[in-house]
Structure 1
Amino acid sequence: MYLLIFIIIGFVIYKWVTSDKNTTSTEYNTNLIQQQIKNVGKLIVTEGHYAQVMTYKDQQKYLMNLLTFEKKALIVINADVTVAYDLRQVKYDIDEKNKTITIVSIPKEEIKISPDIQFYDVDQSRMNPFTGDDYNKISKKVKEDLARKMETSTLKSNAKNRLISELSKILILTNSLGWKLQYENQVLENEQQLGEQVKL
């Protein structure tokens, strides 16, 4: 009889001690992961510089094209372009029971194009002078050209690589603690999978 009581008491004590340790361990791991996500939550900026030269021409014609007034200029453009990810806006969910971190959403990249436009060899007439509309059209065209160039350059891919590098810090930690990291309903096991899954 006494032996049975001792066994029951021993079992209860064992379960209590084991349960307490598991809870403490889970809370510790959760705090570590939250701290890592906080460390990753920053603004990462990838910068690029572009230079180009273009010629702008415009004609005004009168009297059934008998009179033509032309204006033209050589335009030199130097532009700074930045691609930024604000990782402070990453949304995630922590499932302590299943030891799973789910990345809910990743912010879209913010692209900023800042061109410095200089005019040279300006040739114009009183009948067709350069106006604010010309400068606006040139500025719009320059930004469109730069946006196209940026799409075919390595700037965006470099920015994405930096994003993946930061997010992989969470992946490394979760793996080391025996947790799982998932995004878009897929469990991510390595940095390559993370890079393939994060399509921006």
Structure 2
Amino acid sequence: MIDFAVFVVALGVGSIAAWQVFHWIYGKKLLSDKKENIRVEANILLEKIEQVFKVVLAEGYFTEIYDHNAKKDFWGLFKTTNKALIIVKAKVSVGYDFSKMKFRRDADTRRLIIEGFAPAEVLAVDTDYKFYDINQGFVNPMKHEDYNALLAEAKAMIKTKAEGSDLPVIAANQLQLMMRQLASSMKWELEMLPEAKEEI
């Protein structure tokens, strides 16, 4: 009787072991089949080409900690809170759009006269975002549009901070130096009218 019991237990353990081995081998085959069937498609559309003459003359690197905390009241019965902490790292490029420059040339005296110049502007904001401490309300979860709005707001704040920094002044100094060197290399004299200097 004991031999029969041992036989039954051994048979049960063997069956379980065989099932595990079969499952492990077959499971690996399924995973490998899935990996082989992965297909990636990308469609890149070129919508528009424009000719521009914009020159970057100063770059600044910013880090912003953006703390979002929004509460929503539901009919005065209860409130839900959406919280997110975003760390934004950005490279801001400041320079000039030369298509906005007003100038004239005096070939007789070999002078390039700058009559007007648009002020330095933010030409590009390259950002990298990381989300931390996301806490969503059960009734009012954050949607894809909410994330996009948060990122747009954080980017706008970086741009405003860059415009109020020393970057436009540095870009203006670089512009004058570049224009003078350019005119000098062609044996021309550069003249900036007072209005143009004020705009820069």
TM-score (structure 1 length as normaliser): 0.59
Pick from 179, 182, 185: which aligns with 2:191? 182
In the superposition, relative to structure 1, how do residues 95 and 108 fare at CA in structure 2: closer, same or farther (>3 Å)?
same
In the superposition, relative to structure 1, how do residues 125 and 165 fare at CA in structure 2: closer, same or farther (>3 Å)?
same
Aligned to 2:199: 199
Query: In the alignment, is the contact (CA less than 8 A) between 1:86 and 1:107 conserved in 2?
Result: yes
Which sections of structure 2, spanning at least 5 residues, go unmatched? Answer: 1-52
In the superposition, relative to structure 1, how do residues 99 and 60 fare at CA in structure 2: closer, same or farther (>3 Å)?
closer
- By how many angstroms is 1:180 displaced? 5.3
What RMSD in Å do the two structures reach over aligned CA positions?
3.1
Query: In the alignment, is the contact (CA less than 8 A) between 1:44 and 1:87 conserved in 2?
Result: no
User: 2:113 matched to 1:102?
Assistant: yes
What are the equivalent positions in structure 2 for 1:74-85 lying under 5 Å apart?
74-85=85-96
What are the equivalent positions in structure 2 for 1:48-197 lying under 5 Å apart?
48-64=60-76, 66-85=77-96, 92-106=103-117, 108-111=119-122, 112-170=124-182, 172=184, 181-184=190-193, 197=197
In the superposition, relative to structure 1, how do residues 198 and 129 fare at CA in structure 2: closer, same or farther (>3 Å)?
same
Tell me, in whole angstroms, the C-alpha distance in 2 between the residues paired with 1:100 and 1:185: 16
In the superposition, relative to structure 1, how do residues 130 and 90 fare at CA in structure 2: closer, same or farther (>3 Å)?
same
Structure with larger Rg:
2
In the superposition, relative to structure 1, how do residues 108 and 157 fare at CA in structure 2: closer, same or farther (>3 Å)?
closer
Q: In terms of mean alpha carbon deviation, does 165-174 or 149-158 score higher?
A: 165-174
Query: In the alignment, is the contact (CA less than 8 A) between 2:66 and 2:85 conserved in 1?
Result: yes
Aligned length: 147
Query: In the alignment, is the contact (CA less than 8 A) between 1:74 and 1:121 conserved in 2?
Result: yes
Calculate percent identity across the aligned residue pairs: 25
State the one-letter code of the partner of 1:100: R
1:55-104 Cα distance to aligned partner (Å, 9 max, x none): 1111222132x211111111111111101335587554332334533224
Q: Secondary structure at the match of 1:97?
A: coil
Q: In terms of mean alpha carbon deviation, does 148-157 or 73-82 score higher?
A: 148-157
Q: Secondary structure at the match of 1:127?
A: coil
Which sections of structure 1, spanning at least 5 residues, go unmatched? Answer: 1-40, 187-193
Tell me, in whole angstroms, the C-alpha distance in 1 between the residues paired with 2:155 and 2:106: 44
Query: In the alignment, is the contact (CA less than 8 A) between 2:72 and 2:81 conserved in 1?
Result: yes
1:23-70 Cα distance to aligned partner (Å, 9 max, x none): xxxxxxxxxxxxxxxxxx983432111002121111222132x21111
Tell me, in whole angstroms, the C-alpha distance in 2 between the residues paired with 1:123 and 1:77: 18
